[in-house]
């Protein structure tokens, strides 16, 4: 067993700061009127951790302060666990701010210990979280190492024993306040002059148990791996929902694109973790004190990339009438499908390879309306109006070639009129024909009245070559052009 622990030291502030539209304003997390955490801008202004809220505000007038939002933190941690699900199937949440991942089976795929560590830090960084990674042979060891930011020197391709001895060696150096021991026990140890875990390990177990109770022994056995430490593993949720409540209302659509990008990026990583693509999603723009506007976006094939999701959503947003200022934004997936990446050419056309045929259709549909873009098909019907149909475009590399028309003795026009256009016989010069087509007496009420048309290829006086017919009444119509 090999555990990674991602401890997020500034998690409380990072969760709250997501509500801000821009990252550049100084922000602090406050508890009991004391500054608990600062972002970079607040640090740059000179705010120190532990100073009072009044001091902080006087130092930096533009300061935004948040109180801890435990519910939001829990939700976010749950999301991060789903996003890291891509590295391993065994992901466990350690509240308040750590994720534990069992990676024994994933090391080779992600390029060894250090490759995986880089990937994990990169993923969390992209999602807006700074992470300290601890690696250990037990979950608690990884957690303690991550909290202590103890970088234990692990061999590049370690055997199980090599890791264990290296981890135990590093654990010995860890100060007790980074462990899961309660504050009372830490203080008692400190009064006895015991500061690190190594010193505790050296003490006789029986004496420790008598003085500190079985809880401490249990912890020591779990952290060193003498006792199994089963974790509750995360089961990924079936549906993605994320909501952002802003600090101030957003009135312009351009300003909305920033938080939208944030949510779309979260969705992308969630989808990658689940190996899914989204087919249909919905944005909900909620203003303060009136009803929310919902915008649904549909994709022709499952999509993952946040750029695609956003570009199509923006096209749709342009057409949307958002009268009120938006205070809250929510992104929900409606329909998901298994993800299958497109086949890309190995050679050549590198600059075009990034474009997928489905994206174009989505963009057309988003801007022009759902039925403004269709494909066409032939249909087996002898009546000209029904021998074709508009259908959703076939997406995928294996488009099936339509069978060529079986009757090769007849000619059909390339352009067909929606409704036949009346014309006069004397304007026409008939070239070929007649071809009699029964136009479906069965589809009309008066079944005893035979209905047929005699079609000719003709040349109109204006020079165009057209497909004309004469009905039983002797009226002539243009039905298509040999354009």
Site for other proteins in 341-370 (CB under 8 A): 349, 351-352, 355-357, 359-361, 363-364, 367-369
Considering the complex, state which of residue 229 and residue 454 has its C-beta at the smaller distance from other proteins: 454
Considering the complex, state which of residue 241 and residue 465 has its C-beta at the smaller distance from other proteins: 465
Report how far residue 121's alpha carbon sits from residue 133's, in angstroms, rounded to the nearest whole number: 8
Report the nearest approach of other proteins to the CB of residue 455 (Å): 11
How far the first Cα of the chain sits from its last, in Å, is 72
Considering the complex, state which of residue 57 and residue 412 has its C-beta at the smaller distance from other proteins: 412
460 is an interface residue for other proteins by CB under 8 A: yes
Report the nearest approach of other proteins to the CB of residue 432 (Å): 6
225: helix, strand or coil: coil
Report how far residue 116's alpha carbon sits from residue 104's, in angstroms, rounded to the nearest whole number: 11
**Cβ(416)–Cβ(480) under 8 Å?**
yes
**Cβ(265)–Cβ(18) under 8 Å?**
no
Q: Which stretch binds other proteins (CB under 8 A): 116-124, 285-293, 300-308, 434-442?
A: 434-442
Q: Which stretch binds other proteins (CB under 8 A): 11-19, 230-238, 275-283, 457-465?
A: 457-465
Considering the complex, state which of residue 237 and residue 430 has its C-beta at the smaller distance from other proteins: 430
Report the nearest approach of other proteins to the CB of residue 405 (Å): 5
Considering the complex, state which of residue 192 and residue 415 has its C-beta at the smaller distance from other proteins: 415
Report the nearest approach of other proteins to the CB of residue 412 (Å): 4
Q: Applying CB under 8 A, what is the total number of residues that bind other proteins?
A: 73
Q: Is 233 exposed, middle or buried, given 0-12, 13-18 or 19+ CB atoms closer than 10 A?
A: middle
Cβ contacts of 311 within 8 Å, gap of 6 or more = 363
Q: Three-state secondary structure along 181-221?
A: CCHHHHHHHHHCCCCEHHHHHHCCHHHHHHHHCHHHHHHHH
Considering the complex, state which of residue 335 and residue 425 has its C-beta at the smaller distance from other proteins: 425
Site for other proteins in 372-431 (CB under 8 A): 372-379, 387-390, 393-394, 397, 399-405, 408-418, 425, 429-431
Report the nearest approach of other proteins to the CB of residue 252 (Å): 21
Report the nearest approach of other proteins to the CB of residue 314 (Å): 13
Among 25, 74, 78, 459, binds other proteins (CB under 8 A): 459
Among 44, 432, 441, 444, binds other proteins (CB under 8 A): 432
CA dihedral 348, 350, 352, 356 (to 10 degrees): 100
Report the nearest approach of other proteins to the CB of residue 10 (Å): 41
Cβ contacts of 163 within 8 Å, gap of 6 or more = 2, 135, 137, 154, 155
Report the nearest approach of other proteins to the CB of residue 417 (Å): 6
Site for other proteins in 437-456 (CB under 8 A): 450, 452, 454, 456
Report the nearest approach of other proteins to the CB of residue 465 (Å): 6
Between strands 3-7 and 293-303, the pairing is unpaired
173 is an interface residue for other proteins by CB under 8 A: no
**Cβ(297)–Cβ(280) under 8 Å?**
yes
Task: Look at phi and psi of residue 289 and say left if phi exceeds 0, alpha if psi is from -120 to 50, else beta.
Answer: left
Among residues 206, 114, 184, 123, which one has the least CA distance to residue 153? 114
93: helix, strand or coil: strand
Considering the complex, state which of residue 291 and residue 400 has its C-beta at the smaller distance from other proteins: 400
Site for other proteins in 91-150 (CB under 8 A): none
Cβ contacts of 108 within 8 Å, gap of 6 or more = none
Among 105, 111, 213, 434, binds other proteins (CB under 8 A): 434
321 is an interface residue for other proteins by CB under 8 A: no
**Cβ(140)–Cβ(123) under 8 Å?**
no
């Amino acid at each position: 067993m090999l555990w990674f622990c991602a401890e997020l030291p500034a998690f409380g502030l990072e969760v709250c700061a997501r509500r801000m539209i821009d990252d550049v304003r100084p922000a602090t997390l406050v508890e009991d009127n004391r500054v608990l955490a600062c972002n970079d801008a607040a640090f740059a202004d000179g705010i120190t951790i532990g100073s009072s809220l009044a001091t902080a505000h006087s130092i930096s007038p533009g300061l935004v302060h948040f109180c801890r939002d435990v519910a939001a933190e829990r939700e976010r941690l749950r999301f991060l666990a789903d996003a890291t699900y891509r590295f391993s199937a065994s992901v466990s949440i350690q509240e308040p701010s750590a994720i534990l991942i069992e990676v024994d089976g994933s090391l080779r795929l992600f390029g060894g210990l250090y490759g995986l560590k880089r990937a994990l830090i990169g993923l969390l960084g992209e999602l807006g979280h700074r992470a300290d990674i601890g690696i250990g042979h037990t979950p608690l060891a990884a957690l303690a190492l991550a909290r202590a930011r103890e970088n234990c020197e692990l061999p590049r391709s370690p055997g199980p024993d090599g890791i264990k001895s290296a981890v135990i060696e590093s654990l010995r150096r860890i100060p007790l306040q980074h462990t899961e021991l309660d504050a009372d026990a830490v203080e008692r140890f400190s009064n006895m002059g015991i500061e690190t875990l190594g010193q505790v390990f050296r003490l006789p177990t029986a004496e420790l148990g008598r003085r500190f109770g079985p809880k401490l022994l249990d912890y020591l056995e779990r952290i060193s791996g003498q006792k199994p430490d089963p974790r509750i593993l995360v089961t990924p949720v079936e549906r993605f929902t994320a909501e952002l409540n802003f600090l101030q209302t957003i009135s312009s659509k351009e300003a909305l694109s920033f938080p939208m990008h944030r949510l779309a990026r979260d969705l992308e990583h969630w989808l990658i973790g689940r190996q899914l693509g989204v087919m249909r999603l919905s944005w909900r723009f909620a203003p303060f004190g009136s009803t929310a506007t919902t915008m649904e976006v549909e994709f022709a094939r499952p999509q993952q990339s946040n750029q695609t999701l956003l570009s199509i959503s923006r096209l749709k947003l342009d057409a949307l009438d958002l009268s009120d200022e938006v205070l809250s934004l929510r992104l929900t997936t409606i329909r998901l499908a298994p993800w299958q990446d497109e086949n890309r050419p190995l050679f050549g056309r590198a600059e075009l390879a990034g474009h997928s045929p489905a994206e174009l259709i989505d963009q057309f549909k988003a801007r022009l309306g759902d039925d403004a873009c269709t494909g066409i098909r032939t249909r087996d019907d002898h009546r000209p109006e029904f021998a074709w149909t508009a259908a959703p475009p076939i997406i995928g590399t294996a488009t099936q070639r339509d069978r060529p028309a079986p009757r090769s003795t007849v000619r059909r026009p390339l352009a067909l009129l929606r409704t036949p256009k009346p014309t006069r016989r004397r304007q026409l010069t008939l070239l070929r024909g007649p071809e009699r087509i029964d136009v479906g007496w069965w589809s009309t009420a008066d079944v005893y009245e035979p209905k047929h048309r005699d079609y000719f290829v003709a040349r109109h006086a204006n020079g165009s070559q057209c497909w004309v017919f004469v009905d039983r009444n002797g009226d002539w119509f243009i039905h298509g052009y040999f354009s």
